[in-house]
Amino acid sequence: MTALPQSDPQLAREGERPWRWVILGLILAGTVINYVDRQTVSVLAPQLQADLHLSNFQYAKLTTWFLLSYTSVMWLWGAVVDRIGNRRGMALVVGWWSIAEMAHALARGVASLSVARAALGLGESGHWPGALRTLAMWFAERQRAWAIGIANVGAALGSAISPPLIVWMQLRYGWKMVFLTTGLMGVAWLTAWLTLYPKNAVAKNAAAVSAAPHEPEKPPVPWSVLLRSREVWGIVLARFFGDPIWWLYLNWLPLYLSKARGFSLKEIGLSAWVPYVAAGCGCFIGGWLSGRLIEHGWSVNRARKTAIAIGTLCMPAGIAAAYAQSPYVALAFISVTLFGFQFWVSNVQVLPSDYLPVGVVGAVSGLSGCSAALGAMIFNFSTGWIVDNFSYTPVLVTAGLLAPLATVSLFLLAGRVRPLAV
């Protein structure tokens, strides 16, 4: 991070400007669009299965193309954004995925749809490394988890509005118009980003005045050093075990409600948004809580771990959903699960900036996101085979058990949360 001299009154005035809230609003909006775009196929899955005669395993392969490309380059996007900066990096990411989203409208079958999904994954994988690096630069330590929690609200909000929005567009205009419209949302965001994100270094580092005004500029930390860090591997393994829980419901909730609970496409549109509203509450409250505890004198270590533990305790509720007799009771348990996940991940995602300099936050966030997507890809592929041959019950039970495994891995490897000497 570039140090800003305290003695310069002009820089001090820039640091007091509330422009970071504009940046946070843009990141929030970008996250909403990111999740609407990736949800199109999952919301339309019952219709696509009927039209293309897909088994659950074939649908799993289709969604795995997205996860495979998403996984393969996320670490690279982190390094790219670290190199070219937040403004250009996020513009490149969103421009790419918006074009890929619109390309879905050209699909003529499973093969072409798979290619479009893979292209979408390549672009969307850059969102979180870029977003987390941007927020780490613009927000102080005590506000950072809350800011990331707000950004994660976009994931829940995008997932919540997707079922009613996509089902409405599908029933009224057809699936091709769904992809074209959601892709154009990204183009509109890109225009706003390039217009509003500051070009000059003073404005770009506005929050750095209050966040770390005396921190000297440091050379990049080599990958060889990062990969020897237990803390980095703790975050990576936590995301590998924990994120499949989120992706399970993101990819399979509409099909679960259709096949296991007998919902029509219209009923899915009317009810599948509920768990994601709960997830949004988890984002906001989880990020707010750890920041609030820090403001009240708690150490960063104690505050982050307390919030992570609370989220962990909520996520096994998915096991109860598997055995619930009422579909609406099952939805309630799933809502608790997704509330817990977003409560948990809003604090796990901030850990790279707690441990490491801002200059490598994008790279480490990309590496942990890559691990998260790899775990999700393995779990997603297994889900298709298990559901075809057994039922959703083993899948939901296994997902519930992954949460404590993720947190135990994090706490054992990462140890105390504090800045590392790198």
CATH of residue 248: 1.20.1250.20
Residues 145/304, Cβ–Cβ less than 8 Å:
yes
- In a domain? residue 288: yes
Residue 16 in this model has a pLDDT that exceeds 50 = no
- pLDDT at residue 227, as a whole number: 76
Q: Cα(257)–Cα(226) distance, rounded to whole angstroms? A: 42
Q: Which residues of 258-272 are buried (b: 16+ CB within 10 A; e: fewer)?
A: bbbbebebebbbebb
pLDDT at 7 (0 to 100)? 34
Is 419 a domain residue? no
Between 96 and 132, name the one with better pLDDT. Answer: 96
* Secondary structure class of 191 (helix, strand, coil): helix
- Flag whether pLDDT at 41 surpasses 90: no
Q: Is the pLDDT of residue 15 over 80?
A: no
Does residue 420 fall inside a structural domain?
Answer: no
Residue 192 gets which letter from DSSP? H
pLDDT at 374 over 70: yes
Instruction: Quote the number of domains for the chain.
Output: 1
pLDDT score for 422: 64
3-state secondary structure of 174: coil
Using DSSP's 3-state secondary structure scheme, residue 181 falls into helix
Cα–Cα distance, 379 to 60 (Å, whole number): 10
Which tokens belong to 120?
């979408």
71 located within any domain: yes
State the pLDDT confidence band at 222, using cuts at 50, 70 and 90. low
Quick check: is 5 in a domain?
Answer: no
Model confidence pTM above 0.95: no
**How many other C-beta atoms lie within 10 A of the C-beta of residue 25?**
15
pLDDT at 220: 61
Residue 116 lies in a domain: yes
The answer to whether residue 304 sits within a structural domain is yes
Which domain does 239 fall in, by range? 12-209+221-414
Structural domain includes residue 2: no
pLDDT reading at 206 higher than 60? no
User: pLDDT tens-digit profile of 263-294?
Assistant: 887 888 888 889 989 998 998 898 889 888 98
